[in-house]
Amino acid sequence: MTAARKLPADPALFQQIATPQLRKGDMRKIEILHAAIECIGTLGYDHTNFETIGQRCGMKRPHVAYHFPDRKALIQAVIRYVYAAGQQIIVAKLKSARRAEDQIKAYVEGVFQWLETYPHHQSVIGLLLYLSTIDADFQAVSQEVKRIALERLTSILQGKVSGEEVERTFAIISGEVLYWTTYETNKKTAPAVRRTIEAVQRLI
């Protein structure tokens, strides 16, 4: 077994959000998910399979396959795992914010803090964007992710903007994240956070 990894959230959170099959204390399954994220981030999707994941976390291929029926199920669990980690960071940032303006700022800061803290998660987001264009099951996962984000933004902006403007707020934040992960090679979050907050404030 490889050295213990820094896990992006606690098992109980993943039990509730990331994947229903995750049992409390099932650290081996979390290790597999985390190793899969590393493989996606370093080797790419085409080279992420039960063999390379097993090598990454010190397990044999059958041990990886025991927890996930196929690669598709594993990648879907990875995506939910990653977004659960993001939600955990965003929720923590929102706790100290009271006004809607402060909550939007905290939400944006939380998104970029998440992706700065776990850079391989950027690759998983990009993978979901790609897979959702060619596979209906991943499109459903993408819609699930969007629904959760819209519900949180609606809660923050309730009574201040229309549903259409909440959708546009989500699109602005998603677009800025995509631009930052794709084109800003220095990966400093401060300018991206400021630019995103200003764009949202102009809307609301």
**Token code pair at residue 41:** 């981030």
- What mean pLDDT comes out for the span 140-167? 91
Per-residue pLDDT tens digits for 51-75: 999 999 999 999 999 999 999 999 9
CATH node for 11-71:
1.10.10
How many other C-beta atoms lie within 10 A of the C-beta of residue 55? 15
Long-range contacts formed by 168-172: CB under 8 A, 24+ apart: 168/203, 169/104, 169/200, 169/203, 169/204, 170/146, 172/196, 172/199, 172/200, 172/203
Instruction: In the chain, list all ranges with CATH 1.10.357.
Output: 79-203
Mean pLDDT of 24-29: 70
What predicted TM-score, i.e. pTM, was given to this entire model?
Answer: 0.85
pLDDT band at 161 (very low <50, low <70, confident <90, very high): confident
18-22, 26-30, 81-85, 116-120: least confidently modelled range: 18-22
CA dist., res. 204 & res. 190, Å (int) = 21
What is the location of CATH 1.10.10 in the chain? 11-71
- Written out in words, the top-level CATH class of the domain with range 79-203 is mainly alpha
Three-state SS across 173-196? HHHHHHHHHHHCCCCCHHHHHHHH
98-133 pLDDT, tens digit per residue, is 888 999 999 999 999 999 999 999 999 999 999 999
Amino acid at 21: Q
Residue labelled with tokens 């050295």: 3
